[in-house]
Amino acid sequence: MATLEARHIGVSIDRPAADVYAFVSDPANLPRWAKGLSGSIAQVDGEWVADSPMGKVKVRFAPPNPFGVLDHDVVLPDGVTVRNPMRVVASGAGSELSFTLFRRAGMSDAELAADAAAVERDLRELKRLLEGAGSSSP
């Protein structure tokens, strides 16, 4: 298997990393910022199931951890699992949030660019939401 092409997409957020982690690690918050993934989300039989542009998908986050790891798998309607590495790290009083987007097999340049643009929009929305909330919880 060849190494997959990756794009690293990030955003600076003027909130402590612990606040960003707490918000992003809660799957119930996905519809508030991840429009490219989730229009709505609910727990079904112990799993998070989201209504997405691709249909119903399962979302599985890494277990809670002190390292800012927000990795999550998205299981597509056809059963394919897309792994999404994501991290938040402290940067002074704020934080840096990074997302690694991999080119999936058979994905065209246009499809990769569209996925990258969707991730960028979602991260900008997350920044707007978290920074607009000031020091209180969003």
Q: What is the pLDDT of residue 125?
A: 94
pLDDT-based confidence at residue 137 (cuts at 50, 70, 90): low
Residues 9-19: tens digit of each pLDDT: 999 999 999 99
* Exposure class string for 66-94: b at 16+ Cβ within 10 A, else e: eebbbbbebbeeeeeeeebbbbbeeeeeb
pTM of the predicted structure, to 2 decimals: 0.87
- Which of 3-7, 9-13, 46-50 has the least mean pLDDT? 3-7
Is the Cβ–Cβ distance between 108 and 24 less than 8 Å? no
**Distance (Å) of CA 126 to CA 10, 43, 47:** 11, 22, 23
The answer to whether residue 136 scores a pLDDT higher than 60 is no
**What is 6-132's CATH number?**
3.30.530.20
Q: What is the mean pLDDT of residues 60-86?
A: 94
The answer to whether residue 53 scores a pLDDT higher than 90 is no
Q: What is the pLDDT of residue 133?
A: 56
